């Protein structure tokens, strides 16, 4: 999932989406004025944490544009994908829509969205990080304006590493397997926790891309049943069968990994940078020995991210005004304010070059160091999850077959072949 939280207002488990999903859609009405044109704007689960921020943002926009008003509708995560699908079918999309890379396939409905290449100059596009802009394109055409992103880092327990006689944390999956073995041998603890539950399989799926595997081809067919794909399956199977992963990885979610890290039972945690502050508050003794480094990658050197963007309905009666509002939301001033209000990263190059993301203060905290590491990853980060319909089905299929191989119910070859067959025959 893709949640954002205020660092100082929400505790650790809020970061992992354990806040109850809102049961109803929330609407922020705009002042009615018969002389104004109304822009309808949908976002994904930003209320109530950021209600005040967006109300002020909208007020500022309306003050600068007295002939326009904005009706903001915030929709719970669990409802957003289906709501957009229904609006596409009914041809009644709002003017500006917040999309997430988890259901970025909706951008392939190209007749539903305004082709931004027809109305945006290169000088405007070039204000955004090139990799972010590329991630918002479909077949080379621009249908989304990048807004903000999140990405993981590695947080490691330096004390456990010292006990295991390790000087540096691993940088890639090959080193990770070696480190996992040494930590287990020297400390009888586990190196890390990663969930193989279908609903929490994103990190495992990203590992395929990092290790050079294309999950789904351009025709929507399974592309992972290859020697490299089998090697990734075998990588996770071997770690589990060699006793280097906690048994709970098959049945528990990310929160179990947090518990184990805070208890000093695992040496690394793969998470967002904001988690460090919560760990320090909840378990100061673990926080004191926790250090941040860049996220684990593979031979490709790829780093993963989750991206939010803004798309404009092709049926809008206010294309210029909708675009103006989308560019206002994502401009340097507003991204600077929003990213410092939250734990997210900006899509504008100028914002990312801000001292807040590039320079450590003289009394830098571990949290400050993590933020800088996180920001530096953004320059080459990619959306590694395939932007396909039925992504949840793909997660379920790979999870079930990978777990079957981990439990010796199937061979690696049979498991990956079955997964490919099931996907291609949905």
d(CA 274, CA 267): 18
Between 1.10.10.10, 3.40.50.620, 3.40.718.10, 3.40.190.10, what CATH number should domain 153-303+388-424 receive? 3.40.190.10
CA distance 113 to 328: 19
Cβ atoms of 271 and 152 within 8 Å: the answer is yes
Whole-number Å distance between alpha carbons of 45 and 17: 11
Supply φ then ψ for residue 71, to 5 degrees: -105, 110
- Bridge partners of 98, per DSSP, are 310
* CATH 3.40.190.10 intervals, the chain: 12-151+306-382, 153-303+388-424
pLDDT at 4: 57
Say how far apart CA 147 and CA 330 lie, in whole Å: 6
| pLDDT for res 20 | 32
SS3 212: coil
Number of other CB atoms surrounding residue 5 within 10 Å: 22
What six digits make up the tokens of 256? 């179990």
Domain 12-151+306-382: which topology? D-Maltodextrin-Binding Protein; domain 2 (3.40.190)
DSSP-assigned letters across all residues of 236-248: HHHHHHTT-S-GG
Distances (CA, A) of 207 to 17, 33, 150, 202, 357: 22, 52, 17, 9, 26
pLDDT band at 174; cut points 50, 70, 90? very high
Query: How far, in Å, CA of 379 to CA of 357, rounded?
Result: 12
- pLDDT for 298 equals 97
Residue 355 CB neighbours (<10 A)? 8
- What is the pLDDT confidence band of residue 30, given thresholds at 50, 70 and 90? very low
Per-residue burial over 212-251, b if 16 or more Cβ lie within 10 Å, else e, is ebebbeeebebbbbeeebbebbbbbbebbeeebbbebbbe
Rounded to an integer, what distance in angstroms lies between the CA atom of residue 235 and that of residue 230? Answer: 8
Predicted local confidence at residue 59, as pLDDT = 98
pLDDT of residue 205: 98
- As given in the structure block, the two tokens for residue 197 are 């539950």
pLDDT tens, residue by residue, 326-351: 999 999 999 999 999 888 999 999 99
Give Dmax (Cα) for the chain. 73
The yes-or-no verdict on residue 92 having pLDDT over 90 is yes
Say if residues 180 and 164 touch (Cβ distance below 8 Å): no
Residue-averaged pLDDT of the chain? 91
Q: Which range, 9-13, 217-221, 339-343, is most confident?
A: 217-221
Report CA dihedral (183, 158, 374, 372) to the nearest 10 degrees: -160
Q: Higher model confidence: residue 103 or residue 51? A: 51
Average pLDDT over residues 169-192: 98
DSSP 390-420: THHHHHHHHHHHHHHHHTTSS-HHHHHHHHH
Under 8 Å between Cβ of 213 and 382: no
Q: Where are the alpha helices (DSSP H) in 16-165?
A: 51-64, 77-90, 122-125, 130-135, 158-163
Rounded CA separation 216/144 (Å): 22
- CA proximity to 248, closest of 261, 257, 258, 238: 257
Give exposure, 358-379, as e/b (b: 16+ Cβ within 10 Å).
eeeeeeeebbbbbbbbbbebbe
Q: How confident is the model at residue 259 (pLDDT cuts 50, 70, 90)?
A: very high
């Amino acid at each position: 999932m893709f949640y954002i939280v205020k660092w100082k207002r929400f505790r650790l488990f809020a970061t992992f989406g354990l806040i109850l999903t809102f049961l109803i859609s929330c609407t922020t009405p705009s002042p009615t004025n018969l002389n104004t044109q109304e822009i309808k704007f949908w976002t994904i689960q930003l209320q109530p944490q950021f209600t005040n921020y967006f109300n002020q943002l909208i007020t500022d926009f309306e003050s600068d544009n007295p002939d326009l008003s904005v009706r903001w509708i915030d929709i719970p995560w669990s409802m957003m994908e289906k709501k957009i699908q229904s609006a596409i079918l009914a041809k009644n999309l709002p003017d500006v829509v917040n999309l997430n890379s988890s259901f970025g396939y909706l951008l392939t409905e190209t007749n539903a969205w305004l082709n931004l290449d027809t109305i945006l100059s290169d000088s405007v596009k070039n204000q955004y990080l090139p990799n972010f802009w590329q991630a918002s394109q479909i077949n080379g055409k621009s249908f989304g304006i990048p807004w903000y992103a999140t990405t993981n880092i590695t947080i490691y327990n330096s004390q456990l590493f010292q006990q295991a006689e390790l000087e540096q944390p691993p940088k890639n999956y090959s080193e990770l397997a070696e480190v996992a073995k040494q930590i287990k041998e020297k400390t009888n603890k586990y190196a890390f926790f990663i969930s193989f539950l279908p609903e929490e399989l994103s990190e495992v799926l990203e590992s395929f891309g990092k290790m050079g595997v294309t999950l789904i081809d351009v025709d929507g067919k399974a592309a992972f049943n290859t020697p490299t794909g089998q090697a990734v399956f075998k990588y996770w199977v071997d770690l589990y069968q060699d006793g280097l992963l906690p048994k709970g990885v098959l049945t528990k979610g990310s929160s179990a990994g947090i518990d184990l890290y805070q208890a000093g039972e695992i040496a690394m945690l793969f998470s967002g940078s904001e988690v460090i502050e919560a760990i320090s508050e909840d378990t100061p003794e673990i926080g004191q020995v926790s250090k941040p480094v860049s996220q684990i990658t593979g031979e490709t050197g790829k780093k993963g991210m989750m991206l939010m963007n803004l798309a404009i309905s092709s049926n809008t009666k206010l294309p210029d005004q909708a675009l103006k509002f989308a560019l206002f939301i994502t401009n340097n001033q507003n991204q600077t304010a929003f990213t410092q209000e939250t734990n997210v990263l900006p899509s504008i190059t100028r914002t990312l070059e801000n001292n807040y993301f590039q320079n450590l203060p003289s009394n830098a905290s571990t949290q400050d160091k993590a933020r800088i590491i996180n920001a530096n990853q953004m320059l080459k980060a990619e959306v590694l999850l395939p932007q396909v319909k039925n992504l949840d089905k793909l997660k379920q299929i790979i999870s079930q077959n990978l777990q079957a191989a981990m439990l010796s119910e199937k061979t690696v070859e049979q498991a990956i072949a079955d997964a490919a067959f099931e996907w291609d025959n949905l």
